[in-house]
Amino acid sequence: MWSMEHDGEDIPEATEVSSLSFEPNQIPMLIEVFMPPVRARISNRCVKKTLTIPHWLNAEAERAGINFSQFLQSSLKEYLQIPDR
């Protein structure tokens, strides 16, 4: 369902159980989907990015003990004016 939302597709309405037909060994099962936790988990997952910086800058940053991932996240939030979550 998340990918359908993400792609802008319409989410189909639930099918009434009475409109379905079943084989003798089949039973209907209700599946309820609550999307907010799914959306939150997907939007907060980490993605790997590759970047290129000059060797001298990398050496200075490593010498200073900078965590590149934390620094990039912090800098992007500041640049985009996004508050910490």
- pLDDT bin (cut points 50, 70, 90) of residue 14 is confident
First to last CA, the chain: 25
Nearest Cα to Cα of residue 85 among 72, 69, 73, 68: 73
Written as six digits, the tokens of 13 are 């309405």
pLDDT of residue 62: 97
Residue listed under structure tokens 């999307």: 35
- For the cut 80, the answer to whether the pLDDT of residue 85 exceeds it is no
Distance CA 79, CA 82 (A): 8
pLDDT of residue 82: 93
**Span 24-80, pLDDT tens digits:** 999 988 888 899 999 988 988 899 999 999 999 999 999 999 999 999 999 999 999
pLDDT of residue 43: 84
pLDDT of residue 31: 86
Give me the residue spans of the domains in the chain: 49-85
